[in-house]
Amino acid sequence: MKEERIISFPHLGDYYIPIKFLLNKITKLKVMESPPITKKTIDLGSKYSPDFVCIPFKYNLGNFIETLEKGANILIQAGGGCRYGYYSEVQEQILKDLGYHFEFYTLVDKDKITPKSLYHTFKKIDKKIPLWKMIYYLPLTILMIRYMDNIDDFIRKNIGFEVEKNSFSNLKKEMLDSYTKCKGFLSLTKRYFHYKKAFKNLKVEKPENCLKVGIIGELYTSMEPFSSYFLEKELASMNIEIKRFTNVSYLLYQKRLQRRKNLRYIEKYCKYTIGADGMDNIYRAKYLIDEGYDGIIHIKPFGCTPEIGAIPIIQKVCQDGKMPIIYFSFDSQTSETGIKTRLEAFYDMLTIKKG
Amino acid sequence: MNAYLGIDVGSISTKGVIIDNENHILASSYIWTQGNPMEAVKTLIHNLEKQIDKKKVHIIGVGTTGSARKLIGTMLNANIIKNEITAHAIGTLSLYPDVKTIFEIGGQDSKIILIEDGIVVDYAMNTLCAAGTGAFLSSQASRLGVKVEDFGRIALTSKKPTKIAARCTVFAESDLVHKAQMGYQKEDIIAGLCKSVVSNYLNNVGKGKKIKAPIIFQGGVSKNIGVKKAFEEEVGCEVIVDPNGHLMGALGVAILAKNSPIKTNFQFSITDNNFETKGIECNKCSNHCEIICVSRNKKLIDAWGNRCSNGDIMNR
C-alpha cells in the first residue's frame, strides 16, 4: 500500500491559515500545519541546529521535527535574501541525518519567487494540479493575506485600549475561522467587510495623546509573536499604540513597489539597499520620526547581519531626529526578565518625556 | 513621622533605605544577597529596624527594584515595583539634579543612562554577556589572590598598566593568565584589568552614546577607585562617585513609593511570617511553563510565569 502523502510547513504568526487554505484548494494532498510553537519546539530546534545560526532557523527546524513526528512527509520552506536563502538546504540535510524520510521543496529559488516559479514548484509536489486552480486560488490567497494584514494594522492601533478584555483577539479568532470557509472572491470580500465593521464597533477607550511606538527590524521576529516573547502583547498591556510595517503583504509586493521611493526618502543616510530589510528599516525609522511617533523598538535575531549593517545608520537617523530607540536581539537563551526590564524602562522614559 | 522604605535586590547585594518626606536617608543597609533574596531581605529589614525609632517613624510606602523586585514586592506587599533603570535615574536625580550621564556597573549588569534637563532620554543595558561587571572583577581578584576590596588601592600604585584584551571575559581571562606568566607585575595587571573594564563598558553599553559631564558613577564597582580613575582618563573629565552611590536604586524606588498615590501600612513584624517559593512545571501543554508560586504561612499569595489560562493557578 502506498503511504498517504501529508504536506506540512513551518509556522509564521497566523499565516498558516492562508497557506493551509491555498494548499487545500489546489492539491489533493492531506495538509497538516505544524503543531503550535512552544518551548519544546525551540528546544528541539536548538538541539539540532548549529549554535550560531539565527533564531528563525531553530524555530523552523523545531516545527519540521514536530510535524514529521506527527506523520508529515512533504515539507515546504520559503527562502530569502539573507541567511534565509540557505535555510532549506541545511535543514533538509540535518533532518535527513536525523533519519527522517520526506520530500523537501523550496518556494523561493535563486532569490526569486514569481507565480510561474511557484506553479512549477507545486507541479513537482503534485503533478495533477490544474493551472486554472493556481490562477484562481493564488490571487485569492494573496487577497486573504492582504485582508488579514489590514485588520492586523487596525488591531495593533487599538488593542491596547480595549474595554472588554480579549475582545479583539476573540473576534480575530472568529474572523480567521470564517476566512478558511470562504469559497471565492465575493464571499471573502463580504467576510472582510463584515469583520472590518465588527472590529470598528468594538469598544475602545483611547486617549487623544496616547503613546505611539513603531516596531521595526527583521521579518521573522516581527511576525512570529513567540519569537519576540510576545512583545506586541506586552506593549498593548502598557496601553501603547503600535505600528509595525513588516507583514507578508509587504514582503510579497509592497517592498518591490516602494523601493525607489523609499531610497529617495532617505537619500541623506543611505544610497543603496543593504540586504534583506535593512534599507527598509532605515526608511521606517525616518518615517516614524516624521510622523511624530514617540519611540522605536528595533528587533532582530542575534547575529542578523543585514540588521547589524542597518543599526549604525538607524542610530544616526534617530540621533538627528531626537528619537528614543531601543534594540532587542532574540536568541533561544534570551532572558524574558531582561526584556521586560528594558521595556518597562523604555515605557517610563517615554511617559516622562511626554509629560 | 511618615517614612518610606525602598529595597533594591540585586544579584550580588541587597540594599535598603528608609527616607522621610524630604528624601533624607533615615536608615540604610547593604548586605550580600548570597543567592537567597528572601532571607537577605529579612536580614535587611532587621538591620533597618534597629536604626530607627519605631514609635516615631511610620512606614506608609514600600517600593522594590532590582532583579528580584517582583518576588520581594509580593512578599512585602509593596505599593510600587519598578525596574532598576528608572529607579537609579530617580534616585540620582534627587541628589544631583543637573547630572547628564550615569554610569552604573553592578554585579552582573552594567548600564548607562543619559539625562537631559532632568529627564531620561536614552539608556542602554548590557545584553547576553556579563563581561566587565563586578562578578568578573571578583573572580579575577580571587585568581590573583587579592581581595576585591583592595583592588582599587593596588591599581593606583601601578605606573604602567598592562594592556589586557577587553572584548570578552573569556579572552580577558586567558590574556590575564598569559600576562602573569610572562612576568608582569601584579599591580600593573590589576590596573590593566580596571582599564579593560572601562574600555569594555564604553565599547559595549556606551557605544554610540554622547557622554556629557557631569558624570556620576555608581553600582558596586564604583567603590573600586582604580576603575574610577580609569574612567576619568578615558572620558577626560571628572567622574563623581557618591558615598551613597550603592544605595541610589533603593533611594529612587523609595521616592517613587512616596510619590505613589497608593499607601500601605508596613509592619516590621512581616519578617516573622514564613515565606516560601515553589517552582512547578505546568504539564497541560508542551510549552511546560515554569510557574513560580509564592506562599505566606502556607497560603498562596501570588504566582507567575504561566502563559495561558491552563496554568492559571491563582484562580483555581
Can you spell out the DSSP letters for B197-238? Answer: HHHHHHHTTTTT----SSEEEESGGGG-HHHHHHHHHHHSS-
Percent of residues, chain B, with pLDDT higher than 70: 96
Is B37 in the same domain as B141?
A: no
**Between the ranges A207-216, A335-344, B123-132, where is the mean pLDDT highest?**
A207-216
B67: closest chain A residue by CA:
A337
Is B211 in the same domain as B135?
A: yes
Query: Which chain B residues are closer than 8 Å to A340 by Cβ?
Result: 83
For the segment B183-206, what is each residue's pLDDT rounded down to a tens digit?
898 889 999 888 888 988 888 888
Q: CB under 8 Å to B273, separation ≥6 — which residues?
A: B296, B297
Is B204 in the same domain as B189?
A: yes
CB-closest option in B122, B123, B287 to A38: B287
A342 in contact with B, Cβ within 8 Å: yes
Which of the listed residues B241, B261, B294 is the one where a domain comes to its end?
Answer: B241
Q: Which three cell numbers stand for residue A303?
A: 547575529
In angstroms, what separates the C-alpha of A343 from chain B's closest C-alpha? 9
Q: How would DSSP label each residue in chain B?
A: -EEEEEEEE-SSEEEEEEE-TT--EEEEEEEE-TT-HHHHHHHHHHHHHHHS-TTT-EEEEEEEESTTHHHHHHHHT-SEE--HHHHHHHHHHHH-TT--EEEEE-SS-EEEEEEETTEEEEEEE--S--TTSHHHHHHHHHHHT--GGGHHHHHHT-SSPPP---S-HHHHHHHHHHHHHHT--HHHHHHHHHHHHHHHHHHTTTTT----SSEEEESGGGG-HHHHHHHHHHHSS-EE--TTGGGHHHHHHHHHHHHSS------GGGGGS-EEEEEEE--SSTT--EEEEEEETTEEEEEE---SGGG--TT-
The pLDDT, as a whole number, for residue B89 is 93
Residues 246-305 of A with CB under 8 A from B: 302
A170 in contact with B, Cβ within 8 Å: no
Which of the listed residues B241, B264, B296 is the one where a domain comes to its end?
Answer: B241
Query: Which chain B residues are closer than 8 Å to A347 by Cβ?
Result: none
Q: Which three cell numbers stand for residue A280?
A: 527598509
* Range A298-309 average pLDDT: 92
Is B183 in the same domain as B128?
A: yes
Is B172 in the same domain as B121?
A: yes
* Residues A338, A340, A343, A349, CA torsion sign: negative
Write down the ipTM of this complex.
Answer: 0.82
Give the Cα separation of B203 and B211 in Å (integer): 12
Is B122 in the same domain as B203?
A: yes
Q: CB under 8 Å to B53, separation ≥6 — which residues?
A: none
The pLDDT, as a whole number, for residue B129 is 66
The pLDDT, as a whole number, for residue B67 is 86
For the segment A133-143, what is each residue's pLDDT rounded down to a tens digit?
999 999 999 99
Is B153 in the same domain as B109?
A: yes
- Does B21 score more than 60 pLDDT? yes
- Does B157 score more than 70 pLDDT? yes
- Does A247 score more than 80 pLDDT? yes
User: Do A324 and B85 count as a contact with CB atoms less than 8 A apart?
Assistant: no
- Does B310 score more than 80 pLDDT? no
CB-closest option in A40, A312, A353 to B119: A353
For the segment A20-51, what is each residue's pLDDT rounded down to a tens digit?
999 999 998 999 999 999 888 999 999 999 98
For the segment A148-206, what is each residue's pLDDT rounded down to a tens digit?
999 999 999 999 999 998 899 999 999 999 999 998 999 999 999 999 999 999 999 99
Is B126 in the same domain as B206?
A: yes
List the one residue out of B123, B80, B87, B120 whose CA is nearest residue A354: B120
The pLDDT, as a whole number, for residue B315 is 62
Is B228 in the same domain as B284?
A: no
The pLDDT, as a whole number, for residue A197 is 95
Q: How confident is the model at residue B107 (pLDDT cuts 50, 70, 90)?
A: confident
User: Do A38 and B122 count as a contact with CB atoms less than 8 A apart?
Assistant: no
For the segment A197-244, what is each residue's pLDDT rounded down to a tens digit?
999 999 999 998 899 999 999 999 999 999 998 999 999 999 999 999
The pLDDT, as a whole number, for residue A291 is 94
In angstroms, what separates the C-alpha of B121 from chain A's closest C-alpha? 7
Query: Which chain A residues are closer than 8 Å to B125 by Cβ?
Result: 338, 341-342
User: Do B128 and A352 count as a contact with CB atoms less than 8 A apart?
Assistant: no
H/E segment holding residue A325: strand A325-330
Domain containing B236 — which CATH number? 3.30.420.40
The pLDDT, as a whole number, for residue B98 is 92
**What does the mean pLDDT of chain A come to?**
91
In angstroms, what separates the C-alpha of B184 from chain A's closest C-alpha? 36
Which one is predicted more confidently, B307 or B266?
Answer: B266
Is B56 in the same domain as B103?
A: no
A315 in contact with B, Cβ within 8 Å: yes
Is B149 in the same domain as B191?
A: yes
For the segment B262-278, what is each residue's pLDDT rounded down to a tens digit?
888 888 888 888 888 88
B315 in contact with A, Cβ within 8 Å: no
Which of the listed residues B241, B261, B296 is the one where a domain comes to its end?
Answer: B241
The pLDDT, as a whole number, for residue B127 is 67
Domain count for chain B, please give it.
3
Residues spanned by the domain of B295? 275-315
The pLDDT, as a whole number, for residue B316 is 57
* Range B69-85 average pLDDT: 90
* Range A54-72 average pLDDT: 94
- Does A111 score more than 70 pLDDT? no
User: Do B287 and A344 count as a contact with CB atoms less than 8 A apart?
Assistant: no
In angstroms, what separates the C-alpha of A323 from chain B's closest C-alpha? 9
Is B183 in the same domain as B120?
A: yes
Give the Cα separation of B168 and B296 in Å (integer): 42
Long-range contacts of B258-264 (CB under 8 A, 24+ apart): B258/B4, B258/B19, B258/B21, B258/B23, B258/B61, B260/B61, B260/B63, B260/B79, B260/B80, B262/B79, B262/B80, B263/B60, B263/B61, B263/B79, B264/B60, B264/B61, B264/B62, B264/B77, B264/B78, B264/B79
> Which of A119-123, A248-252, B64-68, B163-167 is least confident?
B163-167
Q: Buried b vs exposed e over A297-327: b needs ≥16 C-beta within 10 Å? A: bbbbbbebebbebbbebbbbbbeeeebbbbb
